[in-house]
Structure 1
């Protein structure tokens, strides 16, 4: 019986959706679902959620819950990672402390100062997971959803290169879905491919029945000036290829948008937006807990198209499909650094995941990607070497931070965030966490 482990199963909405997408495949064998979380209350809600979803789909499933990570990982075939080290309190610090210093972010979980500090507190936990997997389930696939995506996958390639690790994000699929809706073209039958880095890949192919759909998109934008107030439309206008993440995420990768009140107003951005999203997630957890207590059916989203269930289905049944995945660049994108983590089309079948080489991507897109990868690479090196100066230099390289703060202010901000997150940061970087990295 294949064993699928959910790390951070207390992320109940995501756990619910992943399970629903799994159970929609009626040709899967019986599964053993192992739910792990360090929060007992959230774990209990995850169990109730899993039991309800399995019953609604009429699927025979063994459901196991444990607060012990090693017990969860023993014998795993697939490990789905969705942990968030520090929870909502850490998210507030990542956004509110920089904002008080004059550095605005919208999401703050992937790049910039928020992404760097999220990585710093996530890497020690990933190192522990990797050590456990190498001992208890060395052949399992590690399917990562936790942000910062590229940094986390890159870190695992450094500390545990033997593991089979892939980062999964639905941004490419939903970008194409929404663009097709915008121009009035069915998604079905559309051919698309993207390449770059997570949350800043470039839609390099997008066609239907041999027609390049970029022409229709340009016509649609020209007909509606309000569309030019979207961050991604501005990037498309200047770079020539559409980026594959929301305007909120995209705004943080560049120096163009969050640097002034005028730009924020023009592009309709909401700084610190992720604080509100995180609070909504907490409210949804409370709603799920109450619904389970009364036997109320939980809401299941149709057509979520998450990649982890598709990967598991392909490997277990031999069904071949193509997704977009985050993997180590080993000859995949010629004009991005070898050994960094990139997002590319990936073939999935019974033998696993097979990233597809795309050659060179548009140089102007690669130039922006390399800036992000420089931030990520410095963050990796900071933790690998225990050098806190590299943390500050990573933030200094970030375009949004550099356009908003002086170097002196960046150093002071990093000092403040280090103190705020000290309990979950390694001692070498100024924290109080005794961790073996």
Structure 2
């Protein structure tokens, strides 16, 4: 088979190298065309060299086209992997640090809350430009596989306003599936699940083992588990109060709801510092910064390390390659996908982006009816969908009133800040991220005038309840294997040790 696959944001080593390895593991795909594009020429060149070395050492006759010209990379593409981080680490740092001045303590800040909303504003502006290029130069029937966060907001914008067929993909369901199996002392393949909701707030509404329904026994299994009872306190509390286990990690989940991070002195009661994903303040920013610094410094050694082997046992659980395999070969694949609802979950809005079980084969991506979510989990999802809807419309129109309303409706932001504080916070974030927010040009000028003329509200300027120091290159050199794993993995929290 021969078709073209393009990676946008290909300088992201964690996603690009692994997804390409998964794709080229499929025997029928050993003659496809591959194109990489990124705005960072240095990162693009390093990832291209490393991936091309992998290809060559696996004996394949595939040459990666790498270019900073996005339209050139997209020309004729049938499948597009979107792995961009708009604004890079500098903007990501603002997403964490500026809200902290107002007392908003985030672990990740890439999906909801103040950081996730602003990440969405930057992403939506660029995704509309990407979608325009896709419509004009890519294959007429191309499919965009979106791995970029905020997953629901970007996928929603691409569908409703970008005119590009887009499916959002995440590894959260697989991660929680492994956890549930471990809590019961079983293997993942022994447990069958149905998981439904919205990205990062998907709920395991059915859990079965050999025909027995285990859903009602999950709470006891997690409370008795020696590791999870310490590392997943927020998820266990949500399970206790809403009846179902949530896909997203302790740190992620804690910033999507209003109850666990609104008071600085209580945050440490709910988190664990054995792994950043368990709730560390700015934890994801820290490990991403460490990974980027390490890869750029240690890259010559990466070129000397053994190449990735393109064999089935090394294939990851990321959905992307399996979707393309199903569409092209007809092999049936079952996964959990982010798509426009259109009645799949009957008590969530039809236009929202939901995450639910789906099947892929040569006939396309098919989403079976889930029906109603349990009422409590549906209410949690509805709160987030309201924020997403406001944020997406704001990102498209540049209407800063809608943006401020999204901040007000966000559960954690609203729990920590009053309306005047939110108005000032939004001004601060708009001004700081001006270069990535072309749709807010007029609003940013008004914000600058307010900063000059109006009296500032006092800031809380908290340092974060659990912020750790970013490791130096010297620190990381002491454990090169761990540094390589952090830099090279898309899922930077596969290993989640409990606090020692």
Answer whether TM exceeds 0.5 for this pair.
yes
Cα deviation for residue 189 of structure 1 reads 3.5
Matches within 5 A, 1:317-396: 317-396=329-408
Cα deviation for residue 223 of structure 1 reads 2.9
Cα deviation for residue 29 of structure 1 reads 4.2
Residue 126 of structure 1 corresponds to: 127
Q: Distance in 2 between matches of 1:142 and 1:115?
A: 21
Residue 109 of structure 1 corresponds to: 110
Q: Deviations over 1:242-279 (max 9, x none)?
A: 11111111111101111123431111232111221221
Matches within 5 A, 1:394-405: 394-405=406-417
Q: Distance in 2 between matches of 1:319 and 1:342?
A: 24
Asked if structure 2 preserves the Cα contact closer than 8 Å seen for 1:23 and 1:57, the reply is: no
Asked if structure 1 preserves the Cα contact closer than 8 Å seen for 2:124 and 2:154, the reply is: yes
Which of these residues, 277, 293, 305, is aligned with residue 296 of structure 1?
305
Cα deviation for residue 55 of structure 1 reads 2.8
Which of these residues, 296, 308, 324, is aligned with residue 320 of structure 2?
308
Q: Deviations over 1:273-326 (max 9, x none)?
A: 122122122134225622245x22357894531111111111121111111111
TM-score, normalisation: structure 1: 0.94
Q: Deviations over 1:347-391 (max 9, x none)?
A: 111132122221111111010101000000011222333311111
SS where residue 122 of structure 1 aligns?
helix
Residue 260 of structure 1 corresponds to: 263
Q: Distance in 2 between matches of 1:338 and 1:152?
A: 17
Asked if structure 2 preserves the Cα contact closer than 8 Å seen for 1:200 and 1:244, the reply is: yes
* Cα 1:182/1:63, change in 2 over 3 Å: same
Q: Distance in 1 between matches of 2:162 and 2:17?
A: 29
* Cα 1:374/1:322, change in 2 over 3 Å: same
Residue 251 of structure 1 corresponds to: 254
Residue 275 of structure 1 corresponds to: 285
Residue 85 of structure 2 corresponds to: 84
* Cα 1:53/1:379, change in 2 over 3 Å: same
Q: Distance in 2 between matches of 1:263 and 1:24?
A: 47
Residue 435 of structure 1 corresponds to: none
Residue 68 of structure 2 corresponds to: 67
Matches within 5 A, 1:162-181: 163-181=164-182
Cα deviation for residue 427 of structure 1 reads 4.2
SS where residue 188 of structure 1 aligns?
helix
264-273 or 393-402, larger mean C-alpha shift:
264-273
Q: Distance in 1 between matches of 2:16 and 2:223?
A: 41
Matches within 5 A, 1:92-241: 92-137=93-138, 138-161=140-163, 163-224=164-225, 227=229, 230-241=233-244
Residue 424 of structure 1 corresponds to: 436
* Cα 1:88/1:302, change in 2 over 3 Å: same
* Cα 1:191/1:421, change in 2 over 3 Å: same
Q: Distance in 2 between matches of 1:356 and 1:168?
A: 17
Asked if structure 1 preserves the Cα contact closer than 8 Å seen for 2:181 and 2:190, the reply is: no
SS where residue 204 of structure 2 aligns?
strand
279-288 or 311-320, larger mean C-alpha shift:
279-288
Cα deviation for residue 178 of structure 1 reads 2.0
What RMSD over aligned residues (CA atoms) do the two structures have, in Å? Answer: 1.9
Matches within 5 A, 1:15-30: 15-30=16-31
Aligned residues: 430
* Cα 1:299/1:94, change in 2 over 3 Å: farther
SS where residue 188 of structure 2 aligns?
coil
TM-score, normalisation: structure 2: 0.82
